[in-house]
Amino acid sequence: MITAPRALTGPEAHLSPDRTFARACTEQTATGAPESICDTGTAMPKPGELTFVAPRGAKKPPRHLADLTPAERKEAVVGAGEKAFRAKQLSQHYFARYAHDPEQWTDIPAGSRGRLQEALLPELMTVVRHLSTDEGTTRKTLWKLFDGTLVESVLMRYPDRVTMCISSQAGCGMNCPFCATGQAGLDRNLSTAEIVHQIVDGMRALRDGEVPGGPARLSNIVFMGMGEPLANYKRVVGAIRRLTDPEPDGLGLSQRGITVSTVGLVPAINRFSDEGFKCRLAISLHAPDDELRDTLVPVNTRWKVREVLDAGFEYAAKSGRRLSIEYALIRDINDQAWRGDRLGRLLKGRPVHVNLIPLNPTPGSKWTASRPEDEKAFVEAIAAHGVPVTIRDTRGQEIDGACGQLAATER
């Protein structure tokens, strides 16, 4: 097990939680890790280069209701010259009615609406386009943020459930070579409100019948879109709290319906575990051996497979939630049956479930999906150890469904 990062004192103490985490990342570098860490995030990263902190100097999104606690909302409303109870009214409109258009706030005087919108519900993001497939039950949205940055979300409606895949960063600093987002580098972190608004709009779309079939309310939210969620720890945790706060302070969802994915940032996993969350944790493993994972998931040069799994097992023990292992099957790279056997041995007897993901290739990439016979042999090798394993249903391939593809084509 890796040791916890030391507490920062003196001149380091002013660092934000995310920069404190980044300092811990650089201090706990494993043997063979790159000596430098990309700190700009604006240029195409070099192979193996990691960006733990978003570039400095980026404009901050405007303050939004979803960034604030109920008490902070009251302060903001009073600061705008309105009565404190207007904060509860705004929360009701946004979190319960999904209404951020002032024309819909009929219980608020017309003369107050403009001030309240400016203070607490500014426009954060606009839809560039929607793309649908699977007879309309899968809809991908490309968003333009206030500064022109692009991010994506995907709404997937099944007969018995609705899952929404959301982004936590614009771009990603983890530099996985088979991932379109990772190859583009990190632009910036999303704010708590920018994360939450993806879900609020998804819930509005379901209510209004824009995505046909199935339930009318979200069942599952997965932080598996653009970005490494635990590298944007503070805002992602803030978003989880807004999603699970009871209406109208939040959306009233259950932590048990939320999955947070990570490539394996061990200090952040440990922190998430210590803070008592009950979300499901998903580790994007993609290889059971350090030699290959160092290449496929460069953060493995910081924390090795066993360190990452140990942190995941600890989270499972504390949260009471089964750990998910995400594994993208890549032809002739990581899909050998012996690797399936090795993965099964690592996970045998543990509270885990393996999700195998047929790779959705990105344009011009050398990576492609496994052959059916290799996929079958890999599944059998894992299952032979009594480890639950399934092949994930892949949706949206004809609409650039893989993370980051649509934003890349728009650029």
Q: How many CA atoms lie within 13 A of 156 on its CB side?
A: 17
**Within its chain, how far is the Cα of 160 from the centroid?**
23
Look at 27-31, 131-135, 162-166 and tell me which has the smallest mean pLDDT.
Answer: 27-31
Residue-averaged pLDDT of the chain: 88
- Name the binding residues for [4Fe-4S] cluster: 172, 176, 179
Average pLDDT over residues 378-392: 98
C-alpha triplet 60, 238, 244: angle, nearest 5°: 140
SS3 8: coil
Look at 27-31, 60-64, 111-115, 234-238 and tell me which has the smallest mean pLDDT.
Answer: 27-31
Q: Which helix (H) or strand (E) holds 19?
A: helix 17-27
Q: Write down the pLDDT at residue 47.
A: 77
pLDDT tens, residue by residue, 231-289: 999 999 999 999 999 999 999 999 999 999 999 999 999 999 999 999 999 999 999 99
Q: Write down the pLDDT at residue 5.
A: 33
Would you say 385 and 354 are in contact if contact means Cβ atoms under 8 Å apart? no
The pLDDT-based confidence of 327 (bands split at 50, 70, 90) is very high
Spell out the domains of the chain, with CATH numbers in brackets.
Answer: 65-120 (1.10.150.530), 125-410 (3.20.20.70)
Q: Write down the pLDDT at residue 20.
A: 53
Cite the active site residues.
Answer: 152, 403
Alpha-carbon distances, residue 302 vs 48, 174, 266 (angstroms): 11, 11, 9
User: Which residue do the tokens 């936590």 mark?
Assistant: 168
Look up the pTM and report it. Answer: 0.88
> In terms of DSSP H, where are the helices of 208-260?
233-244
Q: Write down the pLDDT at residue 229.
A: 98
The number of beta carbons lying within 10 Å of the beta carbon of residue 336 is 16
SS3 73: helix
How far apart, in whole angstroms, are the C-alpha atoms of residue 231 and residue 1? 20
Q: Write down the pLDDT at residue 307.
A: 99
Q: Which of 359, 349, 167 is nearest to 260 (CA)?
A: 167
User: Taking 90 as the threshold, does the pLDDT of residue 99 lie above it?
Assistant: yes
- Name the binding residues for S-adenosyl-L-methionine: 227-228, 261, 284-286, 360
Q: What are phi and psi of 335, to 5 degrees?
A: -105, 20
Q: Which of 80, 79, 77, 99 is nearest to 88 (CA)?
A: 77
The pLDDT-based confidence of 2 (bands split at 50, 70, 90) is very low
Alpha-carbon distances, residue 155 vs 33, 138, 139, 320 (angstroms): 37, 6, 5, 27
How far apart, in whole angstroms, are the C-alpha atoms of residue 228 and residue 149? 17
Alpha-carbon distances, residue 394 vs 151, 222, 390 (angstroms): 20, 14, 12
Would you say 371 and 329 are in contact if contact means Cβ atoms under 8 Å apart? no
Q: Write down the pLDDT at residue 180.
A: 86
Would you say 294 and 32 are in contact if contact means Cβ atoms under 8 Å apart? yes
Q: Write down the pLDDT at residue 273.
A: 98
pLDDT tens, residue by residue, 139-184: 999 999 999 999 999 999 998 999 999 999 999 999 999 988 888 8
Q: Write down the pLDDT at residue 314.
A: 99
pLDDT tens, residue by residue, 226-240: 999 999 999 999 999
Would you say 211 and 159 are in contact if contact means Cβ atoms under 8 Å apart? no
Look at 157-161, 191-195, 344-348 and tell me which has the smallest mean pLDDT.
Answer: 157-161
pLDDT tens, residue by residue, 41-72: 446 677 778 999 988 888 899 999 999 999 99
The pLDDT-based confidence of 1 (bands split at 50, 70, 90) is very low
User: Taking 80 as the threshold, does the pLDDT of residue 80 lie above it?
Assistant: yes
Q: Write down the pLDDT at residue 106.
A: 96
DSSP string, 343-390: HHHHHTTSSEEEEEEE--PPTT-S--BPPHHHHHHHHHHHHTTT--EE
Q: Write down the pLDDT at residue 173.
A: 95
**% of the chain exceeding 70 in pLDDT:** 85
Q: Write down the pLDDT at residue 54.
A: 84
Cross-strand bridge partners of residue 171: 186
- Name the binding residues: 172, 176, 179, 227-228, 261, 284-286, 360
The pLDDT-based confidence of 393 (bands split at 50, 70, 90) is confident
How far apart, in whole angstroms, are the C-alpha atoms of residue 6 and residue 23? 10
CA-based torsion, 335, 336, 339, 344: positive or negative: positive
Q: Which helix (H) or strand (E) holds 223?
A: strand 220-223
pLDDT higher at 4 or 68: 68
Average pLDDT over residues 340-347: 99
Q: Write down the pLDDT at residue 4.
A: 33
User: Taking 60 as the threshold, does the pLDDT of residue 37 lie above it?
Assistant: no
